[in-house]
Chain A
Amino acid sequence: MKYRFKLYKGDEIKYIGHLDLLVAFQRVIKRAKMPIDYSNGFNPHQLVSFASPLSLGLTSCAEYGDFQLKEDLDADFVMEKMNEQMPDGLKILSLVKLKDGVKNTMTSLVRAEYEVFFTKDITKEDIEKNIDGFMAQKEILAMKKTKKGINETDIRPDIFWMKNISDNEKTGFKIQVSAGSIKNLKGETVAEAFCGYVGRPYDKYAIKCVRTEMLMDNGEGEFVPLNYGVER
């Protein structure tokens, strides 16, 4: 039976990178004594996959992934057992059994949402005043790390919307951007471009970035969270 999880990754565990997170998750499965399925082949590994890696230092309230058990167990039971074994800062928020034929999260993922907060250099007013102008640009050039090296790329087509979410305590914006294996834009890259647009220095250690959602195309031109409409 295949299951899809939505996982919370908090401050406590944000310094654990993608591969380490996968290992930690696999150990949770073992400690929870879940009958996990293994791949065949020379080096059998647990059939667990995550939709997309999260940069070191980021937190998330919506990490998605799939795993496969040898048995058909109640999803709430599995979730409860696994949450009992989670390290601090990790929690499965929802778990559903997958319908047959659903593509895995990695291939389904096309968009993600981030909240980006500034602790210095950028003020609420800066965001308020500049957000429309920033989005009205035809082209937004940013330095992006790709497999071929660092290139200047136009990221405008990969930003779908941007909202001011500043309040009395926080200064920041929320964005929906391309995500997945074909096109992927990071929240930090947008933050850097925004600082450039406003004419402020960009200090990558002074921003806080949270991934808040991951989306797929539901086939009708709508973008929905990775666990919508996939439940068996």
Chain B
Amino acid sequence: MYNAVPDEILLQVEKPARYVGREVNMVKKNPDHADIRFAFCFPDVYEVGMSHLGLQILYFFLNRREDTYCERVFAPWTDMEEKMREAKIPLFALESQQSIKNFDFVGFTLQYEMSYTNVLNMLDLAGIPIYRKDRSEDDPIIICGGSCAYNPEPLADFVDIFYMGEGEVLYDEMLDLYKQFKKEGKTKQQYLEELLKIDGLYMPQFYDVEYNQDGTIKSFEPNHKDARRVIKKVVVTDMDSVFFPEKQLVPLIEVVHDRVTLELFRGCIRGCRFCQAGFVYRPVREKRACTVLEGAKRLVETSGHEEISLTSLSTSDFTGFEELACGLLEEFKDKKVNLSLPSLRIDNFSLDLMQKVQEVRKSSLTFAAEAGTQRLRDVINKNLTEENILNGCKLAFDGGWDKVKLYFMLGLPTETEEDLKGIAHLSEKIVEKYFEIPKELRPRPVTVNASASCFVPKPFTPFQWDAQDTFEEFGRKALIVKDEIKRRQVRFTYHNTMMSSMEGVLARGDRRQSALLYRAWQLGCRFDGWSDLFDFSKWQQAFKDTGLDPAFYANRERSYDEILPWDHISVGVNKSFLINEREKALRAETTPNCRQKCSGCGAASFGGGVCYEV
């Protein structure tokens, strides 16, 4: 048994179990016998990374190859980072406890923009030069995937390959090729050039950008004959035959989501206009209920977990939902396995189901209303009416619930003061609904928790051209809502406005932001998604030092003919569709969901999923 970090250090840091591995179902291989060593890095702390389904899938997917040893790496928490730097311990992988500097691939999953500085910090801790230009033949290939990789440009100077799409599709081909090239003694550069032949992989070094005087992009051109003009994401088309792990890593300390996670489908039929996931994961591709059920049985057996969670963007939209829910209840009713059902639409069936799975304990009920008025909900194509919400609450209150959570966004396009006050009014109407129940049937006081996030326009959404509010505006708007709330049963909280501003900058960033990220990292930015560690003043300093203007990225409305930094990436949804959606948004016109009527977004080009359902 060997730990990269000696006991006397482990004893001094918070939660040392984050750094020693050896969890249940961890893959053990002899590192010397692996042709390919792959470090799967999650640029956040252990407990967050271990809760990520994508990690669980790719870990077992890559490790099913005998020639490959995929190991996990998480961002050491600040106390550990300090100790590692002091003792000159390089960043290591949990499985072998070996430094990742000599791995073949170092892969990062980019789940949120605020983890970017952690990517830089992890490279540095590993002793790998942060800038691609400073790396040599001996350094690993740096590859990034995940939803934020769809706008790769802010990290373009650091990363060798951006993988567009779902990992199951290309990794085998890529790794086979790598092994062959390595055996033939070819260089990393030759390998990367060969990868140009595969669609779905973006290698920033093969493209040059020029800018206009006003800072917008003048041209974005390939500089290699094999480089594609547009890189199109790759997706799995048959969700029933695609690899799904038999096992799940079971952490030995409590993590954020400590349970069996079941994937029902990828994508979402809804098309909410603010939601990046709703566009970049198109088209909807479902598993059959029996496939999910089989997976559930196996994972519960091999993990020992006592909770199952169904995860997908909008669980109720699963066509086999009733079949699955009943199947799960039947299978696990005597086994003391709880079902957790996030993102359900509230109706009689789902309430009945929740009654069954939660028997006594009644957690709170959540509605993602997103906006305070019907007009604004139409703008964002959020297919949920006030009537839906109030009826849902009525059903829930009758069923014995007394807590309601509401999610809203501040700063949505076209938002007015009336929309803001609508947040308060809707929350209060729910309280009033509770009081419609006869007094003797409501033993406890009702609470309505309304929380607001700050809208961040994201690439590949109809609002990718829109200006984001400044953090001062967000703060002002939050106060309007707060002042409008009169009932004490309503609690209102809102997200860190400055953090949302930074997210807004990075989400639509271009290549010049690599310098910004590097400077922010130098100034000590880490774990920027953690409000206690996020330091806006450091970011402001980084803007000053690099001469970049945050307003240019976040608070500026773009014209439709501007070249956007991510225009060379295709998620399968056409730009013309997004423009049309934005125009409809401005007219507060809604668009039917994929099952009601195809709107011709372009995702049918993948040849599968909901686009071909009969």
Contact = CB atoms under 8 A, between A and B. Distances in A.
A193 interface: no
A73 interface: no
Contact of B24 (A44, A87, A204): A87
Contact of B8 (A12, A23, A206): A206
Interface stretch (B9-17, B130-138, B205-213): B9-17
Nearest to B28: A88
A172 to B, nearest CB: 16
Interface stretch (A13-21, A152-160, A219-227): A13-21
A40 B201 CA distance: 55
B336 interface: yes
Given A20-B17, A27-B24, A88-B22, A57 B11 contact: yes
A31 B303 contact: yes
Contacts of A1: none
Residue from the set B23, B24, B301 with the largest chain A CB neighbour count within 10 Å: B24
B250 interface: yes
Nearest to B258: A23
B306 interface: yes
B20 interface: yes
Contacts of A20: 17, 252-254
A89 B300 CA distance: 23
B361 A42 contact: yes
A12 B17 contact: no
Contacts of B17: 15-16, 20
Top-5 shortest CB links A-B: A27-B304, A30-B304, A205-B8, A31-B304, A15-B16
A29 interface: yes
B303 A27 contact: yes
A16 B17 CA distance: 6
Residues of B in contact with A, size category:
20 to 34
Contacts of A30: 300, 304-306
Nearest to B250: A27
B458 to A, nearest CB: 37
Interface in B13-64: 15-17, 20, 22-24
A38 B334 CA distance: 11
Contacts of A33: 301
Contacts of A17: 253
20 contacts: A13-B252, A15-B16, A15-B17, A16-B253, A19-B254, A20-B253, A27-B304, A28-B304, A29-B304, A31-B24, A31-B301, A31-B302, A31-B303, A56-B16, A57-B10, A57-B11, A87-B252, A88-B22, A205-B8, A205-B11
Contacts of A19: 254
A210 to B, nearest CB: 13
A16 B252 contact: yes
Interface string B296-310: 000011111110000
B303 A12 contact: no
A31 B15 CA distance: 25
Interface string B229-267: 000000000000000000000101110000000000000
B184 interface: no
A57 B3 CA distance: 13
A108 interface: no
Interface in B355-389: 360-361
Given A16-B17, A30-B306, A88-B22, 4 more contacts: A15-B20, A26-B306, A27-B250, A29-B304
A11 interface: yes
A43 interface: yes
Contacts of B250: 27
A26 to B, nearest CB: 7
Nearest to B10: A15
A24 interface: yes
B532 interface: no
B305 A27 contact: yes
A212 interface: no
Contacts of B305: 27, 30
B326 interface: no
B1 interface: yes
Contact of B23 (A38, A56, A87, A204): A87
A42 B360 CA distance: 6
B7 interface: yes
A85 B304 contact: yes
A16 B336 CA distance: 25
A44 B336 contact: yes
Contacts of B1: 11-12, 88
B304 A38 contact: no
Contacts of B22: 12-13, 87-89
Nearest to A38: B336
A15 to B, nearest CB: 4
Interface in A18-66: 19-20, 23-24, 26-31, 33, 38, 42-44, 56-57
